Structure formats: structure tokens, C-alpha cells
Chain A
């Protein structure tokens, strides 16, 4: 029998929920609303994580008034110790570093998202874009992995501490980090709701439903698509920064295609085109993640030979199939667009009668 610390588990699940929510909202804006099938979600998440890997090793020591030590190779241990000490003793440097990390990650991912959409613009079928991003994500991952000095190849970078690491009590510091993740997720949700229920959201939905007609009605379709890719990529990269901080570790192994598929499961499960659905999907997957981990430990301790992590993959596959077959609109179907126009017309008609 294993003891489960309910409080700590709840904090862990909710932190994960916040991080997953950012990823799911980003994909929902791109695919759910605008119909751009971004199968390179792991790439944009990884841009956030790699940025964190770089700022924590190069920028943080400078902000703390120290000299940066090369994070890879023989000085690896010293560099790790330096950044751990800074994060434990100089919270201000940690927060400034994190703020800059968010900004750099957002700019980098936004630019890549915008460019990726523009480059693949000439490929008429948007599913080519999906393939390009899928392959591109994996290619970038392998290139980063191959670079010895970037984030230290296959060793990765550890000691990417969350900003509340300076708080002595680990439960309190985890609680604050959870609040940070949930706050950012909430902001992303409110922003995406505003974006969806606007003339811009209407154009994106039009683009999703019929690209040719939308172009024929005077809309710069390619630009709109690149813009929403940029917005989605910024949100995904912020999720990526938190993802790295949550594990305290940046490693290319975390950004394989499976991560992309996880985000897709969240959106399909929750409801394509519905931001609340994206949140629900993120919550369900965060819960499943935690409980498969607990299940894996329990199984392992009971001497079973079943590898529980594979059970997770099988379960995800089954969920996806079941949803697509029996409830393609997701748990929370798409809601109607509200820009205020219907209320205006309703009032006008009412005034006549």
C-alpha cells in the first residue's frame, strides 16, 4: 500500500492543469477556431523550455551579479550549484530572469509560428502545414540534441528552479508556483475568449469553414492564419517555460511527438472550438497523468510486470477513437459566436414590434 499525500497531489495536478491549459488553449485557437492543424505543438512548447534552459544558465548569473559558468561539460556541476544558490538566495534575480524568459520565449515562438505559417502558405492544403510542423518539430529537437553547448545535448539542463524555490518550505513554494501557473492559464483563457467572440474570431471561423469564400469576401486569409499561429505559439511557449520549471529540467526527450498528441487529445476530448472545453480537456489529462503515475508505482510495488506507462498510451488512443466516433464535437460542444451584433438586431426588431 502506498500513502498518497492528498494536498501535495492536488497541488501537483492543478499545476499540471495550468500548464496543460496553456497548451490546449493555444491549439484550440489555432485548430479549434481557425482550422489550422498545428501538429508541431511540441516544437513551440520546446522553444519556451529551451529559452528557460538558456536564460537560467547564461542570464541568471549575470542578473545576480556573478559570472556565468559554462553549463555543460566539466563545469556542469559548478554551474548547477551556482544557479541553485542564486535561486535559493536571490529571489529578485529569479523573478527578473523569469520575466525575461517569458518575453524572449514569447517573441521567439511567435516569430517562428508566424514564419512557419507564411513559409507553408504556398502549400494549398493546410494538412501539409501539419506535416511540415510535425517533421520540423522533430528535426529541431534532434538538432538541439546534437548541439553540445546549447542545452548540453542529451544531458539536458537541470536545476531550472521555479521562482518560489527560495521559500524554505517546499509545500508552500509548490503552492505559489501552482498559483502562478493557474493565473497565467486564466489570463490566456480570458484573452482567448475575447479573441474568439470578436470580428476577428468570426473571420477565423469563416476561414476554418471555407477558405476560398473567405478570400473571395476580401479577407487576407494568409495573414490571418499567420497571426493566429503567432498568438498560439506565444501561449504555447509560455506553457513551455512553466513546463520546464515544473520539472526543474530541460531535456529534448520531453518534446517528442507524444506531447503534441497529448495536447490534441485535450482539445478533441474537451470540445474543438470551445475554450472551456480546452480547459476541461487539460484538467482530465492532468488527472489521468497523475493517476497513471500513481498507478504505475502501485503496480510496480505489487510486483506486476505490466508497464503502466503503456497503459496510458493505450487509454489515450481509446479515448481519441471513442470521442471521434461517438462525440466528435467533444464533451463541451462549440458555443455560438457573440460579438454583440445579435443583441443589437434583436433590440431593433423589438423596437419595431
Chain B
């Protein structure tokens, strides 16, 4: 089976600093792939490179058989790659519902010539509202639909971010520490949601995570980065017992 996402020798230099160094990896369709490594090992940069929000120095990103390197972030999103951010990155001055509605693709009312003609997009908006209702319900945020995003708890913000990404109907979801700043029990719930989304909707996940005890319960395969390079890869059991990984990660 061809992988959904394939990275070929990705490199990113910031002046003299090589943040990502010759990283190649593959994300099979329908998998939950973990990406771990100490702080500053280049994981977030790698996510930014895939989404196009940071320019590549060299290398190729192949998604669904097409080379998407050098494309703009909005084009990449349209192709089906959505992302979550490490810091809560919602529209804090909008309600949870508006946050969920914004990423819906090809909205008629988003064109300035249709926008003033309420009737031309009203039905479509109602359909989107129902889809958003379902997405919010899926992450148990339906009761909060009318609240400003800034009024949600840290865990709810993370869940809303996932719901918002889902509204763009992605095939691949890149999450950068989905449990950062979240209580341990809720962190486990977030991963249960992720597994459910994979099972029910076939969404593929690439997840940067520091809470290995949770990640290892859910990941199918794990890549380890260290100082911009790929240090190791393998199943959860292989990584957990990998000597080099234990050394850089746990200081064993």
C-alpha cells in the first residue's frame, strides 16, 4: 500500500542552524503515527514544513501521490491536510460554533458578491451548522456551542481545535502536542477521541506528543527525532526498548 504522506529528505536551515536534517518518513493511510523527541529536536518545524507554513530548504513532501512541496498553506488545507497547534490557536473572540464553521471549504457566502445576498447562502449555512453541531457533539462540546472560545478550559480548547480541523474534512490531521496543558484524565480522553475518529472516519494522524505513556497506548508506529535528525523508528515496543532513544529521551 502506498503511504498517504511521504517525506523525502526534508531539510530546513535557519541561517547556520539546521533545524530539520534529512528527514524521510512515511505515514500510511488510516494509521496513528507518533512523532517524539526532546524539546528543540525539530518536530514542530517538521509539521510546519508539511503544512507549508514554513518554506523548505530542500526535500520533497508527497501527499496522496502528488508533490506538494512549495504549496501555500491554504492550498495544502484544501487538499485535505489539517493541523492543530501547540499553543491553543482558536479564534478567541468567536463562539465555538463560529470557530467550527470558519474552515468549511467552498462556502458560497464567503464570496463577497454572494455575502450580502442572504438568501443565496442561508440554506447552505444551515447545512454547515448541522455538520458543525455533529462535530462539536463528537468532541463533547455541543453544550458550549454558544460560548466564546476564550471562555473554554484548556482541554476544551484542544478538543475544539480538533473539531474545527474536522470541519475541513481532512484526510490527514497533524497534531502538535494535543494534550499540552491538559489534565491527565482529559488527555487520555483526547486520544480516545483521536482513535475514534480514525476508526469511524478513516482519518490518518501524525501526532507530536510528549506524554509517551498515553501516546504509546494508541500509536501504530513511532518516529523519534533528535537534533533535527531521525534517530529511530519502529513499533511502540521497539521504541520503548530502544537503547539510544532511552538515552536521549530519558537520560538512562
Contact = CB atoms under 8 A, between A and B. Distances in A.
Interface of A: 191, 194-195, 198-203, 205-206, 209-210, 212-221, 227-228, 231, 336-337, 339-342, 344-346, 348-349
Given A194-B116, A344-B129, A199 B77 contact: no
Contact of B116 (A195, A205, A216, A340): A195
Contacts of A201: 115
Nearest to B126: A344
Given A199-B125, A341-B98, A344-B126, A194 B72 contact: no
Interface string B71-113: 0111001100011010001011111011001111101111110
B184 to A, nearest CB: 27
Contact of B125 (A206, A214, A219, A340): A340
Contact of B98 (A210, A217, A337, A346): A337
Nearest to A346: B146
Contacts of B109: 198-200, 339
Contacts of A220: 74
Contacts of B103: 217-219
Interface in B24-73: 51, 53, 72-73
A55 to B, nearest CB: 27
Task: Name A's interface SS.
Answer: helix
Interface residues of B, number: 48
Among the interface residues B110, B114, B115, B129, which one has the most CB atoms of the partner chain A within 10 A?
A: B115
B132 interface: yes
Nearest to B168: A218
Contacts, number: 129
Contacts of A199: 101, 104, 107-110, 115, 121, 125
B128 A203 contact: no
B130 A344 contact: yes
B122 interface: yes
Among the interface residues A201, A217, A339, which one has the most CB atoms of the partner chain B within 10 A?
A: A217
B90 to A, nearest CB: 8
Contacts of A212: 53, 73
B110 A203 contact: yes
A205 B95 CA distance: 12
A228 to B, nearest CB: 7
A216 B73 contact: yes
B145 interface: yes
Contact of B126 (A213, A228, A341): A341
